[in-house]
Amino acid sequence: MSTLKEMKWQSLLTAAFFVIMGIILLIYPEATAQTLCYVVGVCGIVIGVFTVLAYLFRDMQKNYYRNDFVVGMMELFLGAFVLYRASLIIELIPFILAILVVVSGISKLQNCIDLRRMNCGNGLAFFILAVINIVLGVLLVINPFGEGNLLFIMLGIGLLFSGLTDTFATLYMTKKIKDYVNTTQALEQEIKEIEDKKGEA
């Protein structure tokens, strides 16, 4: 369960980044792309540090075949690169943020599929959230809003929606996965006890 807890906090940290960025863009839509670069870069470094530390302090048996160290170092590198070469990234910032909104929607679509695979309902709410998220993200990628404040306001709405719904999805899925694991383990234990009794007979 400790791995599940780490995944939960990593997801919540990412969701918090979305919420913070969304609020900044809604309150200060006139914020320069350079300022956004600095915010994205710092957040990337923070998330990278968290990922690397989670890897280093996790039991080695649970690290086996996991790429958290590589992922964390990539996040650190990308965050530092964004800070160091902000001038190259500035024009891509709206596109990058729009892609993050799309990715958030795809993750909720996976949540919907996971719920069905665990027989925990049809995941209709997640499907609806995923569709809204993906459509909003694609709309932001296409960008019919121009280059002014309206684009950054819409990006703020997209990121805020993604962050809040990701928070809900993370907490909900964590509970469902715990329940599923506990139920599965209890069933396996019951089957083992029945087989043991048959063996004794």
Every domain of the chain and the residues it spans: 2-193
Residue 187 pLDDT more than 80?
no
CB atoms within 10 A of CB 131: 14
Residue 137: per-residue pLDDT? 93
pLDDT in tens, 24-35: 888 887 766 777
Look at residue 4 and tell me whether its pLDDT is greater than 80: no
With vertex at residue 182, the alpha carbon angle to CA 199 and CA 115, rounded to the nearest 5 degrees, is 120
Q: Could you give the CA distance from residue 84 to residue 41 in angstroms, rounded to a whole number? A: 9
Under the banding of pLDDT at 50, 70 and 90, the label for residue 140 is very high
Model pLDDT, residue 117: 83
Q: What is d(CA 36, CA 29) in angstroms, rounded to the nearest whole number?
A: 11
Mean pLDDT for all residues in the chain? 82
- Higher per-residue pLDDT: 31 or 180: 180
How much is the pTM?
Answer: 0.72
pLDDT value of residue 104: 92
Measured distance CA(53)–CA(58) in Å, rounded = 8
